[in-house]
Amino acid sequence: MFRLPALLLLSCVTTVAQDVTFVDRTEELKIAPANGAACWADLNNDGWSDLVAGSIWKNNEGQSFTKVGDVGACVAADFDNDGRVDLFSWSGLKLLRNEGDFQFKAVELPELPKTVSRGACWGDFNRDGFVDLLIGGYEDWNAGITWPFIVLLNNKGESFSIATTESRLRTRGVTACDFDRDGDTDVYLSNYRLQPNQLFVSDGKGGFEDQAKLRNALATSLGFGGGHSIGSAWGDFNSDGHIDLFAGNFAHQDGRSDQPKSRFLQNMGPDKEYRFEDRGPGGVHYQESYATPAAGDYDNDGNLDVFFTTVYGVASFGRKNNPVLFRGQGDFTVTNANASAKIPALPPTYQAAWVDYDNDGDLDLTSAGKLFENQGTAHSWLRVRLRGDGTKVNRSAIGAQVRIAAGNNTHTRQVEAGTGEGNQNDLTLHFGLGDHRDPVSLEVFWTDGTVQTVAGVAVETTVEVAYDKNQ
């Protein structure tokens, strides 16, 4: 088992809470994304993240966007390690190779079983340096059919092979993380219809074992047989260096003893064999129709926050649901920040993704077909772009983790391609550092088990770290 050494604590700082507001810049930026899943990635290697939301929207250096084509709902990674980020449309089950200059070419896949997917994720499941795919399988409610999930293994960027296809449960969202830091990528499946969520623990060879029950990661409330989840998000919510889970549950209220409320699941680390402890809703107030969450530190205070969408609208069926921005306190508790952040009462949406689209050091939000620009904070920040070598580690560095010690906290972020239900946050890692101003050291945990240290990194910069086995 690979383990990261502890980082030197650089200073002791106190972070003062600051209100951060958002402004809808959608019209001004000439962007009109579909109100479906959103995926952010730099598709032309110009240093500015582009948006895929039904269509591809080219980012013109943070000043405007240009529509360049239609592709459906996607997750992004460089599957052939040629230095360009490719797209997999999980809504259309199509793989698109990036040919450069926003030209994409369909790549033949093996004949796939018929399925209906609500999301997919990339991850190097067999540790060969190339990203593989897990495609979630949902349902045909009218026909009573559960569609199969599919695991596709990457044959060195030349083709894909079906490793697993099986109809088990009704999966909405899939998201990957090496939560036990053994060097291979695991996957959390958010399952609907009062079915238990699944934690697919990788064997490092492309196979998985469901260990949700063993690891206490079912996200089930008393009185219910399953989590009834739509989407979940990985994140280190208490800054202890271990990546935790937020499982987002659709919370039908009925005569049972409890509702399937959303749960924070704390990763207890190696001393507890990477099992999870249920920390409960943590201040996520009751609404029936929560949908897909996205985790990011929007106010740069060092604590991960959660934006959480809803299926029902402000006045649908008298339920008065609306998406909520929850500000994290760093201890698995959150508070509703809609008013202070000036987030409007948004309509029903499954769209939730974070990005720093204008490269100014704070996270902007995509939801409900709109792009909300973060108006900034005085808190410190750091952006980190990782690059694999394309041999030992995939070029997009999907699955790699970075740890930064600042004050009494160890902030951890991972490069992930798939979160919530079918969304994707930007591949550039974003760290809020509160009032910390001194240079920091980065510890990068690459997917081949290599630990690389980069010392003396100035804050409020964007740094690129390339895989170096010998550093």
- Mean pLDDT on 255-273: 85
pLDDT, position 313: 83
* Residue 8's pLDDT band (cuts 50, 70, 90): very low
For 24, phi and psi rounded to 5 degrees? -70, 110
Amino acid at site 197: N
Q: In the predicted model, what is the mean pLDDT of residues 325-347?
A: 96
The C-alpha atoms of residue 237 and residue 430 are separated, in whole angstroms, by: 14
- Strand 380-387, strand 462-466: pairing: parallel
> What CA–CA distance (Å, rounded) separates 124 from 363?
27
DSSP H/E element including 434: strand 429-434
Number of other residues whose CB lies within 10 A of the CB of residue 166: 12
Q: Alpha-carbon distance 200 to 212, whole Å?
A: 8
Q: What is the pLDDT of residue 252?
A: 73
The CA distance from 161 to 130, in Å, is 13
Q: What is the pLDDT of residue 144?
A: 80
Mean pLDDT calculated for residue range 319-339: 94
| Exposure on the CB side of residue 90, measured as CA atoms within 13 A | 35
Query: pLDDT at residue 9 above 90?
Result: no
Q: What pLDDT sits at residue 255?
A: 63
End-to-end CA distance of the chain: 21
* Residues constituting the chain: 471
Lowest average pLDDT, out of 5-14, 163-172, 391-400, 418-427, goes to 5-14
Q: For residue range 175-201, what is the model confidence (pLDDT) as tens digits? A: 999 999 998 999 999 999 888 999 999
With pLDDT > 90 as the criterion, what percentage of the chain qualifies? 83
Mean per-residue pLDDT over the chain, rounded? 92
Half-sphere exposure of 443 (CA within 13 A, CB side): 17
75: which 2 tokens? 């997750």
Residue 332 has pLDDT above 70, yes or no: yes
List the structure tokens of 323: 């998406």
Q: Give the residue carrying structure tokens 């469901």.
A: 210
Q: Tokens 């659709």 sit at which residue?
A: 250
User: What pTM, to 2 d.p., does this model score?
Assistant: 0.94
User: How would residue 258 be classed by pLDDT, with cut points 50, 70 and 90?
Assistant: low
Whether residue 435 contacts residue 420, with contact meaning beta carbons closer than 8 Å, is answered with no
DSSP at 340: H
The confidence band for 107, taking pLDDT boundaries of 50, 70 and 90, is: very high
Q: 386, 322 in Cβ contact below 8 A?
A: no
Of 9-13, 150-154, 451-455, 460-464, which range is least confident? 9-13
- Could you give the CA distance from residue 13 to residue 179 in angstroms, rounded to a whole number? 28
Residue that the structure tokens 């010690």 belong to: 405
Question: 324 is written with which tokens?
Answer: 């909520």
Maximum alpha-carbon separation in the chain? 61
Cβ(59)–Cβ(49) under 8 Å? Answer: yes
Instruction: Tell me which residue of 399, 428, 433, 401 sits closest to 416, measured CA to CA.
Output: 399
Strand order in the sheet with 229-235: 229-235, 244-249, 263-267, 276-278
Nearest alpha carbon to residue 76 among 439, 415, 320: 415
Q: What percent of the chain has pLDDT over 70?
A: 92
Q: What is the pLDDT of residue 11?
A: 34
Average pLDDT on 119-123 reads 98
54 within 8 A of 36, measured Cβ to Cβ? yes
Instruction: Determine the Cα–Cα distance for residues 355 and 453; give it in Å rounded to an integer.
Output: 25
Element (H, E) at 338: helix 338-341
pLDDT given at position 221: 63
**73-99 pLDDT, tens per residue?**
999 999 999 999 999 999 999 999 999
Q: Which helix (H) or strand (E) holds 339?
A: helix 338-341
Q: What is the pLDDT of residue 337?
A: 98
pLDDT at residue 257, rounded to an integer: 54
Percentage helix, strand, coil for the chain under 3-state DSSP, each rounded to 5: 0, 40, 55
How far does CA 352 lie from the centroid of its chain? 10
Q: For 285-311, what is each residue's pLDDT tens digit?
A: 988 899 999 999 999 999 999 999 999
Per-residue pLDDT band at 284 (split at 50, 70, 90) = very high
Q: Does the structure show a pLDDT above 70 at 261?
A: yes
Question: pLDDT tens across 380-433, in order?
Answer: 999 999 999 999 999 999 999 999 998 889 999 999 999 999 999 999 999 999
As a whole number of angstroms, the distance between CA 225 and CA 247 comes to: 15
